[in-house]
Amino acid sequence: MPRRPLVRLFFALFIALAASACAIAAPVVLVLGDSISAGYGLPAEAGWTTLLQQRLAAEHYPHRVVNASISGDTTAGGRARLDALLVKHHPAVTVIELGGNDGLRGGSLDAMRANLDAMASAAQKSGSRVLIVGLRLPPNYGPAYVRRFETTYADVARDRKAALVPFLFEGFAEDNGMFQADRIHPVLAAQTRLLDNVWRELKPLLGEPGKSR
């Protein structure tokens, strides 16, 4: 093989390997969520987790977002999936946005709390900081159930000394125009609002821009 093409080949391989190494070395923000974070009903790559990656880059954070959210997932499903995700990605921060489907199905809040607690504990034991994202239920589920559902997030965050987003839909929950026809999933225009609500609590967990904790 002539020398010049060979040099070009080695140079291309070096660039590819360097890019791969940088991606692997970048600290990970793992998002473990349901359809809200999976971007249900939105154009591909238009959800708040994609906007999060863009904001991290714009503010010079080295972190890489891994969105492991699945539409329809519950806290039990997230708990079953988390260990493998922790081993694979070694996240610096784990964002847990689950529980909405537990509540909408009228599930056991004791089980929901146990699952959230187990996920937070597992992530912390792996060396990850944890951010728990809270949700609320509509009032037709009854005041006692609705109240206990909401406080479950705060209780787990307090017990695990984890960061907390009290309510993911804060500031627009009553605006029907911010939701799809099902009144559950936010529209495209609401994704920046979701990001802002998460960012306030996530940013302190990231360390200084250009560095990682």
Q: Which CATH architecture has domain 28-205?
A: 3-Layer(aba) Sandwich (3.40)
* Measured CA distances, 126 to 37, 51, 120, 159 (Å): 23, 26, 10, 17
User: Looking at residue 209, what is its pLDDT?
Assistant: 85
- Per-residue model confidence as pLDDT tens digits over 9-55: 544 443 433 344 444 589 999 999 999 999 999 999 999 999 999 99
Q: What is d(CA 17, CA 29) in angstroms, rounded to the nearest whole number?
A: 22
- Delimit the domains of the chain by residue range: 28-205
149-173: average pLDDT: 98
- Residues annotated as catalytic are 35, 182, 185
- For 93, the 3-state DSSP assignment is strand
- For 32, the 3-state DSSP assignment is strand
Beta-carbon count within 10 A of 103 CB:
23
- Per-residue model confidence as pLDDT tens digits over 76-128: 999 999 999 999 999 999 999 999 999 999 999 999 999 999 999 999 999 99
- Per-residue model confidence as pLDDT tens digits over 118-144: 999 999 999 999 999 999 999 999 999
Q: What is d(CA 204, CA 199) in angstroms, rounded to the nearest whole number?
A: 9
**pTM here?**
0.88
DSSP state of 189: G
